[in-house]
Amino acid sequence: MADQTDDVAGGFLLDLRASVRDMASGLLGPAHDPAGVLNLATNMLKIFELTQQSLAATFPPAEPIACAKGCTYCCHLLVFTDAPTVFLVADTMNRTLAPAAVAALKDRLAAFEADNFGLDTVPRPACPLLVDSLCQVYAARPLVCRAQNSFHVAQCEEKHLGERKMVEAHDVPLDVWNAVSEGLADGLKEAGYAGDANLEFSKALGIVLDTDRALERWLGGEPIFAPARWQGPGGAQGLPGTH
């Protein structure tokens, strides 16, 4: 954001982080209600969309956003998200996809992990949820996927081919993603789930799909997501693949 807007936008984003923290810690409190977890994840997505749209109208991008349906370069980035979002994605899949499609996705998730999440490949393979250039759970996709944007498709292609590290993008969606994600991480920590705010998405989703009563067991304190806590490049909190 431009310098003259930093104070206003920065203060707003700090308030947003605090509000999300309070909401998350409240919904993940002593009640341990599975429905509350799915509601929390849904509310986070709504908050992100409404906030970034409002801020983008106030602080518009310097250039037109180049992202469009069918452009999938950002779907080849390694995705990190939180436990509630993973549960929402799994719930959405089980409600909207045919059993054969879910089984096929499980196979792709396993192959993706066996290939070291594509980290040794340039260009990197697509997210296992991408089918025919479309996300199978687009409406429930993680916050980081919503925050990706670019001014120049050519730069995205260069990054995809390993020829560029960063892509010029609008700051607003990325700033809102940071605020909401950090608030959710704070809330998870207060509720006793500190380790599950930064999970490798595909591994975490595979765990939920392969674990009986995964949501209830997670709420009960079982560390089902321990294998999905990232230990790759950048350390336990590394975020390779983002803008």
pLDDT tens for each residue of 28-42:
877 678 999 999 999
CA separation for the pair 138, 117 (Å, rounded): 21
Please check whether residue 221 lies inside any domain of the structure.
yes
CA separation for the pair 206, 240 (Å, rounded): 20
List % helix, strand, coil for the chain (3-state, nearest 5).
60, 5, 35
Share above pLDDT 70 across residues of the chain, in percent, rounded to a whole number = 91
Closest CA to 109 of 233, 227, 237: 227
pLDDT band, very low/low/confident/very high, at 238 (cuts 50, 70, 90): very low
Please check whether residue 234 lies inside any domain of the structure.
no
* 8 A C-beta contact, residue 202 and residue 109: yes
Cα–Cα separations (whole angstroms), residue 120 to 59, 92, 166, 203: 38, 31, 19, 17
Which residue range is the domain that position 223 belongs to?
3-228
Query: Which residues contact residue 213 at a Cβ distance below 8 angstroms, ignoring those fewer than 6 apart?
Result: none
Please check whether residue 161 lies inside any domain of the structure.
yes
Q: What is the DSSP string of 113-130?
A: HHTGGGTT-SSPPPPTTE
Which pLDDT value is given to residue 27? 83
Closest CA to 80 of 201, 164, 179: 201
Angle, helices 83-96/99-114, rounded to nearest 10 degrees = 140
Average pLDDT rounded to a whole number, residues 38-57? 94
Of 29-43, 72-86, 175-189, the range with the lowest mean pLDDT is 29-43
Please check whether residue 239 lies inside any domain of the structure.
no
Average pLDDT rounded to a whole number, residues 196-221? 96
Please check whether residue 208 lies inside any domain of the structure.
yes
Which pLDDT value is given to residue 225? 97
Residue pLDDT, tens place only, 121-138: 999 999 999 999 999 999
pTM of the complete model: 0.91
Query: Considering its fold, how many domains does the chain have in total?
Result: 1
Please check whether residue 235 lies inside any domain of the structure.
no
